Amino acid sequence: MFSLSNLHPSPGSHHRRKIVGRGVGSGHGRHATRGMKGQRSRRGDSKMVGFEGGQMPLLRRIPKQGFTPPFKEKLEIVNIAALEENFENNSAVSPQTLLEKGLIRTNLPLKILGSGELKKSLKVSAQHFSQNARVKIKEAGGEVQVLLNAQKSK
């Protein structure tokens, strides 16, 4: 009968931890399983990641290319087509309303892009607009309002 008092691991599934450097009587004394001589037998032998014994490491042999700007501004992006689908005529579009409708996920600065058709007159507020988006919103009889970027994010 099984109970908590008589549970044991299966035979062979549990191995005792190797205890090294605790004297000759432990069976792992003297050289402590490190062998006789050489770099790996000494203390402080840990080498940097990618070390290949003095050979030029792979990471340095491969040619490098490209550059990632460290201060690039991250933006939430919404297209005109999404505004056409999700908003009624003469309604106000702001980052808060877009967040509520699930068109954006975070409070990063918002950029409206001009992909798609816009036939509704909307009052759109965002931090950034593409030139194409500005033209399409104004042609449809809407307004463009540029918000100041109150929150800078990394």
Domain membership of residue 133 (yes or no) is yes
Domain membership of residue 123 (yes or no) is yes
Give the DSSP per-residue string, the chain: ---GGG--PPTTS--PPPP-SS-GGGTS-TTTTS-SSSGGGSTT----TT-BTTBPPHHHHSPP-----TTPPP-EEEEHHHHHHH--TT-EE-HHHHHHHTS--S-S-EEEE--S---S--EEEESEE-HHHHHHHHHTT-EEEEPP------
Mean residue pLDDT of the chain comes to 91
Please give the pLDDT value at position 153: 47
Please give the pLDDT value at position 154: 43
Q: Which CATH number do you get for residue 124? A: 3.100.10.10
Domain membership of residue 103 (yes or no) is yes
Residue 96, domain extent:
76-146
Instruction: Tell me the per-residue pLDDT of 46-87, one tens digit each, with 9 for 90 and over.
Output: 888 899 989 999 999 999 999 989 998 999 999 999 999 999
Instruction: Tell me the pTM.
Output: 0.56
Domain membership of residue 126 (yes or no) is yes
